[in-house]
Structure 1
Amino acid sequence: MTSSLVSDILFGFTGLISIINPFAIAFVFLDRTESLTVEERATLAKRVSINAFFVLIVVFFVGTPVLHFFGISIEALRIGGGLAVAVSAWNMLNAPETRTEAAAGKPVDPDNAMSKAFFPLTMPLTTGPGTIATAIALNANRTHKLSEFVQSSIASIVISILVVLVVYFTYSRSAYIAHFLGKEGTRVALRVSAFLLLCIGVQIMLTGFSEFLAPLAANRPAS
């Protein structure tokens, strides 16, 4: 049981981390919080991490029943969520190099940045549709057998903790990462991260469309 539990944790953790990609999103997080101090950014990173933890826990345990209750398919989740990610990334990709308020020397209210802790910093940038779909898929075969349910539940909780620890570490230290890269390197990293995020959003949408159209194509009568 122990080896199986460790295997489930490693499989789930690597799958979610690859989808979330916190090292790339850290530059997006830094761009959205450039008006904050190091302490305020760390506080916001902690808030985003806590939000992400509860989102993952909810998705792991009640994600599938909630989708069924509202009549939402995984395909619709991928298409709608992918669109939200792609639009956000497109806006970042086409944003001016310097923000007006920062260039004008106007103070930016930290509360305004803090209000974005859940949307869009937690959803859809951190725990977006790809993350939700992956988390649901990880527990799609969860049975009602007590031993397997307990093992799956433990794995889900540990995976969530590990993921949000990585998210907090990378987000809270995004300024330090940018410092090592320098101003020009950070600008390039931000643009590349925004482009990759755009590609991720488009890929999520394409996956949703392909999953939606596949049954229709399979049921199409041969000519």
Structure 2
Amino acid sequence: MDNAELAVLLLLALVGLYSPVAAVSSYIPVLQPVDTRQHQRLALGLFVNVAAIAVVTILVGEPLLELLGLSTAALSATGGIALMIAAVPMMLGKSDDPAAGAGDAAIAPPSTSWRSIVFMPLTFPLTVGGATIAVLISFRAQVTGVTGVLALTVAALAYAAITGLCVYVAGHAGRRLSDRARMILDRVAGILLTAIAATLLASGFTRLVVDVLKAMGVR
């Protein structure tokens, strides 16, 4: 699998895990106390936060693995497992929306500034969580060289742009999707995520077996 294909898969995995439709509805109660004139700044602030976290994760992922003595194959498999855990309930229509609960619990007080909510709860936990970090590192483990890192960085920046756009849409569109439409789109995202998770698992476990065989001297 070349770098361009991995970058596309990374973007699809991040967007599927993020679930823009669910994210927009989760942002709405948090954005209500913020003046509509600040929504553009808020969207830009979220883009910067997500981009910074994603790029730093991609850049230091491999050195961190070496420091901790972890196998890149094992981490790829772990990323696949993390995706599978999140994706299967979505695909079956049985997932609870933790983001919505977090949003309801973190609604800012009236007349709040966009700066007071841009990192928490908008960036974390509504946009970036543990599964997102795991996916980024697992994909980073599968590329080598500047070209591969650059391809993943472009995908991460595209993902950050999507999150900023979702905030902007949430601030101006409100809740216009029916529950049924949201359920259908979540299931489509779940199917996509499950397929990507299976790819990561197969790749990671295959490389684990090869590494074990090499360590045993088997060619």
TM-score normalised by structure 2 residue count: 0.60
Distance in 2 between the 1:201 and 1:155 partners?
Answer: 20
Partner of 2:53: 55
- Cα offset, 1:212, TM superposition: 0.9
Distance in 1 between the 2:205 and 2:158 partners?
Answer: 31
Q: Report the more deviating stretch, 110-119 or 191-200.
A: 110-119
Partner of 1:117: 123
1:1-223, aligned counterparts within 5 Å?
14=8, 16-21=10-15, 25-30=19-24, 32-33=26-27, 35-37=29-31, 49-92=47-90, 93-95=93-95, 108-110=105-107, 114-115=120-121, 117-119=123-125, 121-125=127-131, 127-138=132-143, 140-142=144-146, 160-170=156-166, 172-173=168-169, 176=173, 179=176, 182-216=178-212
- Cα offset, 1:158, TM superposition: 6.1
CA contact (8 A) 2:9 2:196 kept: no
Distance in 2 between the 1:89 and 1:39 partners?
Answer: 32
- Cα offset, 1:165, TM superposition: 1.6
Distance in 1 between the 2:81 and 2:58 partners?
Answer: 23
Could you list the runs of 5+ residues in structure 1 that have no partner in the other structure? 1-7, 102-106, 143-150
CA contact (8 A) 1:89 1:198 kept: yes
Alpha carbons of 1:132 and 1:182: their partners in 2 closer, same or farther (altered >3 Å)?
A: same
Letter in 2 for 1:27: V
Letter in 2 for 1:117: T
- Cα offset, 1:157, TM superposition: 6.5
Could you list the runs of 5+ residues in structure 2 that have no partner in the other structure? 109-116
Alpha carbons of 1:49 and 1:39: their partners in 2 closer, same or farther (altered >3 Å)?
A: farther
Distance in 2 between the 1:216 and 1:54 partners?
Answer: 36
Post-superposition CA distance 1:164-213 (Å, at most 9, x none): 2233214543685973x544222211232234334433442333222212
Q: Give the greater-gyration-radius structure (CA).
A: 1
Distance in 2 between the 1:53 and 1:159 partners?
Answer: 10
CA contact (8 A) 2:10 2:139 kept: yes
Number of aligned pairs?
195
Alpha carbons of 1:118 and 1:79: their partners in 2 closer, same or farther (altered >3 Å)?
A: farther
* Percent sequence identity over aligned pairs: 16
CA contact (8 A) 1:53 1:160 kept: yes
Distance in 2 between the 1:12 and 1:83 partners?
Answer: 18
Alpha carbons of 1:61 and 1:167: their partners in 2 closer, same or farther (altered >3 Å)?
A: same
- Cα offset, 1:32, TM superposition: 4.7
Alpha carbons of 1:171 and 1:194: their partners in 2 closer, same or farther (altered >3 Å)?
A: farther
CA contact (8 A) 1:36 1:110 kept: yes
- Cα offset, 1:13, TM superposition: 5.8
Partner of 1:148: none
CA contact (8 A) 1:26 1:171 kept: no
Distance in 1 between the 2:5 and 2:192 partners?
Answer: 23
Alpha carbons of 1:65 and 1:36: their partners in 2 closer, same or farther (altered >3 Å)?
A: same
Distance in 2 between the 1:57 and 1:64 partners?
Answer: 12
Please tell me the root mean square deviation across aligned C-alpha atoms, in Å. 4.5
